[in-house]
Amino acid sequence: MVTPVIRSAALLSALGAGWLVAWQFGLRDVDRSPVYGFFISALLGFGLYASTSGIVIAEFRRQLRTVVLAVTIGVLAKVALIFGVMFFAFRDPTHLVLAVAVAQIDPLSVAAMHAKSRMSDSAKALLSAWASFDDPITVLLTVYITAFALGGGAVGGVGSFAVDLVLNLALAGVAFMLWTLVRGRVRRAEAGGRAVRYAVRAVMVVAVLAIGFVAVRHSLLPALAVLGLFFRPNLGRWVDGLAQAGMFLAIAAVGLVLAAEFSWALAGVGAVLGAAAFGAQAVVAFGLTVPKRWRGDRVRLALGQQNGLTAIILALLLEPVFPGVIAVVAPAVVVVNLLHAVSNGAYDRWSAARQATAPPVPVRRPTRVPRVPLKPAPAPQTATAYRVKPTP
């Protein structure tokens, strides 16, 4: 069993491996390479798909209201809380863009931890949807807040964002139409022989890869989050295993960039940023899970903040306009993931110890009802025989 300590050590090892490769081969400006850009976009797209493909649809529909609140008001509240901490610590208004970069939850990390999580299906559905659908909101915030910080300039534009949104919906719509055409045959194939099942699953995987390539090539990643809600080849544990591998590749990719941009001063800012992001998630999650149905999952949702590729991609987007952003966000990602591993591990141990020391619940035996002896049934009475006198 992989403990949080082992997982943290593995993540740091992956980060160190990426750093060592960049240092050994003298890699500079890795983030500006088209190959690197396509690689991290593909990992992010896979994280979006893997996160939503593990959602229990019935629970997703039941918690839709909470999901909408989480990816709208929840994201805005997290940005405000993170920026409040950063402004109080450093008095720099441009740190608002840093708050936006780490306000979302990384879907790849959530997908990697999905199978081993002890949360209920409702909480898993909420956290997975939260992680998958807060990215578009964060991108939109990046556009507006960057424009505000620059006094009129922006990384992108509202018009281009609207076009991207329409294209994402169009790609997801085409995929859904394809699914409606083949889902009946897929269900019949799943009930057939092994060769037929495997052949159909292979075709579905090829279809997902083709749609994913189009989405990554044209930066239509939110469409993959929608795709994971219905286009789901039955791959068993393969998706969870690939998500684990993808998470470590993502951390190694962070190390490639961090090797050329690292400085201790900016790393200190990143540490504060990471702690603020983790704390903001706790505050917002507790606010969203007030109803009693979340009572058993509130703490785990509060400790659910994870950052990764999404934050790195936003940092790379902002780096030309705000130099040094990547050197702040990358250490923040490491701090957030370490806090996540340590705090969840501590909570798991505390929960286990609490259950072990809790007094046993007395088993109430059913009250014994005294048995009333049954009276023997009366013997059947024979009818009195009457002799009929012969007629004279």
321-345 pLDDT, tens digit per residue, is: 788 888 899 899 889 988 988 898 8
Query: Residue 154 — pLDDT band, cuts 50, 70, 90?
Result: very low
Query: Residue 32 — pLDDT band, cuts 50, 70, 90?
Result: confident
Per domain, the residue ranges of the chain are: 4-356
Tell me, rounded to whole angstroms, the distance of Cα 380 from its chain centroid: 77
Residue 281 has pLDDT above 50, yes or no: yes
Task: Count CA atoms within 13 Å of residue 202 on its CB side.
Answer: 6
Query: Which sign, positive or negative, has the C-alpha torsion 190, 191, 195, 196?
Result: negative
Query: Residue 86 — pLDDT band, cuts 50, 70, 90?
Result: very high
Residue 157 has pLDDT above 60, yes or no: no
Query: Residue 172 — pLDDT band, cuts 50, 70, 90?
Result: very high
CB proximity list for 100: less than 8 A, separation 6 or greater: 79, 138, 141, 142, 145, 314
CB proximity list for 102: less than 8 A, separation 6 or greater: 82, 273, 274, 277, 307, 311, 329, 332, 333, 336
Longest dimension (CA), the chain: 141
CB proximity list for 190: less than 8 A, separation 6 or greater: 197, 200, 234
Mean pLDDT value across the chain: 81
Average pLDDT over residues 79-107: 91
Q: How does pLDDT run across 349-383, given as a tens digit for each residue?
A: 888 888 777 676 565 665 565 565 656 656 655 55
Judge whether 367 and 308 are in contact, CB under 8 Å. Answer: no
The predicted pLDDT at position 282 comes to: 94
Residue 384 has pLDDT above 70, yes or no: no
The predicted pLDDT at position 117 comes to: 77
Average pLDDT over residues 18-44: 83
How far is it, in rounded angstroms, from Cα 107 to Cα 150? 29
The percentage of residues in the chain with a pLDDT greater than 70, rounded to a whole number, is 83
Average pLDDT over residues 199-219: 90
Residue 170 has pLDDT above 90, yes or no: yes
CATH fold label, 4-356: Na+/H+ antiporter like fold (1.20.1530)
Q: In which residue are the tokens 């805005």 written?
A: 76
Q: Mean pLDDT lowest for which of 47-51, 141-145, 225-229?
A: 141-145
The predicted pLDDT at position 130 comes to: 87
